């Protein structure tokens, strides 16, 4: 019996926006996931505290926007007491041994990955699915992480098998781009997302 496949989309969600919805729908479709969990971080170590809405507000806004019954909005990092992705993954794998996790990321995250704590361990813990983002694709594919793990990259046509692969394994999924970003929304003063249509 195969393990349940769960995608993990981590971030500040400050605020949640249609870009998160877009990448979630793509992940559910291309990766053949059973569920996708939004991990709303209490505080991203790489982002400033100033301008960060409270965790309760960010959770509520994300729950209002979640597009599908299979998308679960969680505060698991707060409950687990973890701050760094590598520690979150370790704790989740210990707590849920019958789940096959996949880390979901935009192309900008692949470029930033070497700044993460013990990032090679992140690569060795879970397969990673990278989705295209406007203006980031070329930088991401030329990044340190992409070059170091170039032999572990799989073709997009096999992305539906990624969750069952032994890491390190990753895929870059080219797709229709979505321009929404939390930074732009904050600059516009738009912190309350429009409700997305539920499936």
pLDDT value at position 177? 59
Count of positions (residues) in the chain: 199
For 18-53, b/e burial (b = at least 16 CB within 10 A) is: bbbbbbbbbbbebbebbbbbbbbbbebeeeeeeebb
pLDDT value at position 186? 39
pLDDT value at position 175? 76
pLDDT value at position 199? 38
Q: Which domains does the chain have, with CATH numbers?
A: 4-187 (3.40.50.620)
Task: Please say whether the beta carbons of 73 and 35 come within 8 A.
Answer: no
Q: What is the pTM of this model?
A: 0.86
pLDDT value at position 46? 64
pLDDT value at position 180? 53
Instruction: Please write the tens of the pLDDT for every residue from 17-35.
Output: 999 999 999 999 999 999 9
For the chain, which ranges sit under pLDDT 50?
A: 182-186, 191-193, 195-199
What's the gap between Cα 26 and its chain centre? 12
């Amino acid at each position: 019996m195969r393990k349940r496949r769960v995608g993990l989309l981590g971030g500040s969600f400050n605020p949640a926006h249609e870009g998160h919805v877009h990448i979630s729908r793509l992940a559910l479709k291309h990766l053949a996931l059973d569920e996708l969990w939004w991990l709303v971080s209490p505080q991203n170590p790489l982002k400033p505290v100033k301008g960060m809405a409270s965790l309760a507000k960010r959770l509520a806004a994300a729950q209002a926007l979640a597009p599908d019954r299979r998308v679960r909005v969680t505060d698991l990092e707060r409950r687990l007491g973890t701050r760094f992705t590598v520690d979150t993954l370790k704790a989740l794998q210990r707590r849920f041994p019958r789940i096959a996790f996949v880390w979901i990321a935009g192309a900008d995250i692949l470029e930033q990955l070497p700044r993460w704590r013990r990032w090679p361990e992140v690569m060795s813990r879970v397969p990673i699915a990278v989705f295209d983002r406007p203006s980031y694709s070329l930088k991401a594919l030329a990044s340190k992480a992409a070059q170091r793990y170039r032999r572990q990259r799989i073709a997009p046509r096999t992305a539906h098998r990624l969750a069952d692969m032994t890491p390190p394994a990753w895929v870059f999924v080219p797709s229709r781009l979505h321009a929404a970003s939390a930074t732009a929304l904050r600059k516009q003063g738009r912190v309350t997302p429009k409700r997305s249509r539920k499936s």
